[in-house]
Amino acid sequence: MSVFPRFVDWNSQSVEEPLKGESKRSENAKSDSVSEEDSKWIAYYDKAEAKKQGNLWRAAEKKKPWYDAPAKVKVTRKKGLCHMHIELTVGLPPEGVYDLFANPDNFPFFRIDNETGRELLQNKSRKILMKDGPSEVVRLEKALTWEFLGWSGAFPFTLIADENQKIFTAKYNKEKMMFMKVFKGSWKIEPLYVDSERLCKEREPKSREEYKRCSRGQGKVASKVTMDQYFQPYFPLNLPPISWFIRWITIKTTKKLLKLIQDASIMYRDTSPTEL
């Protein structure tokens, strides 16, 4: 099975394409919950182009494996509120990376190791609260695995996220989370035209359509992810030395999750089309 099934499930009977020019949105978006089972997933991107990108990446990986540099993380702190500004690249186009971040199928790929099959981040449930075209408000129930001095367990939490599949962005905020007074953030995914210097020598493309034309459809599209995350523990956990440990473990865990997303993209690039 694919690491992100919806990105490569081109022939699924449950997938519908939006009308040309995108169907009109309802002026008043429904606030009623939409069950995951009853709502059909609509692809708001060119599936044929996404499939071609997958083939380009897998073919290129055999010749020269792509390298994703570790995430750049800048941490600042003001009045007890920690801010993580993160930038990273992923060797897949934005539609694939969006599926890795949003994980609409709750697919388990945040594993600590393959032998135990234990997940670092467990995806418990995903419920659509509101849907308006490519934009969805969802409730995400997750659990984060922890270990400390021989003890281990899972730390449950619930997020409310506003995700947009068309522009590849999301904002999230905690609904329930032990120990954290503040936990919120956002991320966006932008295309990187990694073959433009080789295939579009005369100019830097300004859009994917322009890149497609100047590269004659042979240019790979990677992704740049920009993420901002804010967190602050409740009192008295916001006081040293406990606050130092919470800040350290939050930053370390976030970096590890981002590295696992990059690792998942490697799994996809190493997979033959017949295995998807």
The tens digit of pLDDT for each residue in 221-262 reads 999 999 999 999 999 988 889 899 889 989 998 998 999 899
- Is residue 265 included in any domain, yes or no? yes
Q: How many domains does the chain have?
A: 1
Query: Apex CA 112: angle with CA 82 and CA 249, to 5°?
Result: 20
Residue 75 lies in a domain: yes
CA dihedral 215, 216, 220, 226 (to 10 degrees): 60
Predicted local confidence at residue 276, as pLDDT: 46
In a domain, 115, yes or no: no
Token pair of 135, please? 């934009």
Q: Is residue 112 very low, low, confident or very high in pLDDT (cuts 50, 70, 90)?
A: low
Q: Please give the pLDDT value at position 204.
A: 86
Question: Does 243 map to a domain?
Answer: yes
Range picked from 6-10, 49-53, 167-171, 235-239 for highest mean pLDDT: 167-171
pLDDT band at 6 (very low <50, low <70, confident <90, very high): low
Strand order in the sheet with 151-164: 72-78, 81-90, 221-233, 180-193, 169-177, 151-164, 135-148, 121-132
| Domain assignment of residue 238, yes or no | yes
Q: Evaluate whether residue 69 is within a structural domain.
A: yes
**What stretches of 147-241 show up as alpha helix (H) in DSSP?**
196-199, 208-214
The 10s digit of each residue's pLDDT in 171-211 is 999 999 988 999 999 999 999 999 999 999 878 899 999 99
**pLDDT, mean of residues 44-59:** 90
Any alpha helices (H) in 75-132, and if so which ranges? 94-102
| Tens-digit pLDDT profile for residues 154-169 | 789 999 999 999 999 9
User: Given this model, what pLDDT does residue 132 score?
Assistant: 94
Q: pLDDT averaged over the chain?
A: 82
pLDDT at 2 over 90: no
Highest mean pLDDT among 40-49, 88-97, 233-242: 88-97
Q: What is the band of 271 on the pLDDT scale with cuts at 50, 70, 90?
A: confident
Measured CA to CA, the distance from residue 201 to residue 242 in angstroms comes to: 54
Owning domain of residue 213: 5-9+46-107+167-272
- Provide the pLDDT for residue 42: 76
> Considering the domain boundaries, does residue 242 fall inside one?
yes
Whole-number percent of the chain with pLDDT over 90: 57
- Assigned domain for 176 exists: yes
Higher per-residue confidence, 181 vs 25: 181
